[in-house]
Structure 1
Amino acid sequence: MSGAGPEIERLMALLSKLPGLGPRSARRAALALLKRREQLLLPLTAAMQDAAEHVTTCSVCGRLATRDPCATCIDPARDASMICVVEDDGSLWAMERVGAFHGRYHVLGGLLSALEGVRPEDLKLDRLIARVQGGDVREVVMALPATVEGQTTAHYIADRLRGLSNQIEITYLARGVPVGGDLDWLDDNTIAHAFKTRR
């Protein structure tokens, strides 16, 4: 978009780097922000500055938080004997939204991927192993995506944890037919896995 000025070009370029925003969406977002400067742009700028100054990573579980350790890690009502391993904060927020898990979390910060060059040392695995070796953990729940990378990561972690102790139970989220799902619309792998893990 020529002639827009370097400030607008930079705003659009930065917005286009956000997940789900391509060049066109970034252009629309930039225009919306600029047209509604008082209602959107200035409050967003202030919120981003505030987040940049106050949001940190929990040294225990690896989640984004405004304190370290985070509120979940120090909550005495949480079951410290259970750790739910998730890929990122989005997955953690989804688990919390459901309200079915009352233990603690561990955020990996990614998944193993040969294509993207993500190796075990790039994830927060040493921190997880240290937590498990602390002795209080009896169950580790793998809540990773049902993708090749997610399953590879889950199996790698499970192998590492089994090498530490036979006392630790490693569980996985169930996969299969969603609530309200119609079998005719599901792919073959989902149906096969649902049948194999029937109860």
Structure 2
Amino acid sequence: MFNYYPAPVARLIDELMKLPGVGPKSAQRLAFHLLNAPDRDALGLSQSIIDARQKIKQCSICANLTDQEPCAFCQDQNRDDKVLCIVEQPRDVIAMEKTREFRGRYHVLHGAISPIEGIGPEQLTVTQLLSRLRESPVAEVVVATNLNVEGEATALYLSRLLKPLGVKVTRIAHGLPVGGDLEYADEVTLAKAFEGRKEI
């Protein structure tokens, strides 16, 4: 498709197109931006990618991405060891932290169960989670997987797997967003909002 560009430019465009949400036109725009940028900017970008790839690993305790062992969340002595929040991706940990509501520990699955994509519990950090729960004082596990088919399947699987261990398994509430209008909500969201209603 890009054979009218010099080979290095075509390859750069092709590599940029592998990024999520980057189509052919965006990839071309990014490629030419990088070609016209000062050397220090382009080299800084390439070096930061290399550094991240080489220095970032999974925490041996929670499987979050980190450049230290264990990660900062696992080192934090002020967190509640009795509550463990399970999320799909490292970026979900950041989303939870931004709420400033959760002060427990985390466990990152690195995905969700999706038979269509060939992802089962074996491809996730479920074995690591089970080992961790057997050796910890966790009393409640909060399942904070995404509110889609894969996230719900993962939550159900984890609930069935963890309840026999004697821990309380809860699911984050879901329903209407704050500031949302009823007329724009779909039926499933409204149904979940009704299920999660509480007394005021």
TM class by smaller structure: over 0.9
1:32 equivalent to 2:33? Answer yes
Code of the residue aligned with 2:9 in structure 1: it is: I
Structure 2: distance between partners of 1:15 and 1:79: 42
Matches within 5 A, 1:110-121: 110-121=111-122
- In structure 1, the partner of 2:153 is 152
Matches within 5 A, 1:39-54: 40-54=41-55
Which 5+ residue runs of structure 2 have no aligned equivalent? none
Structure 2: distance between partners of 1:116 and 1:40: 37
Divergent runs of 4+, >6 A:
none
- In structure 2, the partner of 1:97 is 98
Which 5+ residue runs of structure 1 have no aligned equivalent? none
1:162 equivalent to 2:163? Answer yes
Q: Deviations over 1:51-107 (max 9, x none)?
A: 122111111111110012111111101111111110101211111122211111111
- In structure 2, the partner of 1:178 is 177
- In structure 2, the partner of 1:193 is 192
- Give percent identity, aligned residues only: 41
Structure 1: distance between partners of 2:176 and 2:100: 21
Contact 1:79-1:102 at 8 Å conserved across structures: yes
How far apart are residue 6 of structure 1 and its match? 2.1
The 3-state SS of whatever aligns with 1:85 is strand
Q: Deviations over 1:125-164 (max 9, x none)?
A: 0111111111410111111111111000011011110122
Code of the residue aligned with 1:21 in structure 2: it is: V
What is the TM-score normalised by the length of structure 2?
A: 0.94
Task: Count residues with an aligned counterpart.
Answer: 197
- In structure 2, the partner of 1:123 is 124
For the aligned residues, what is the CA RMSD? 1.2
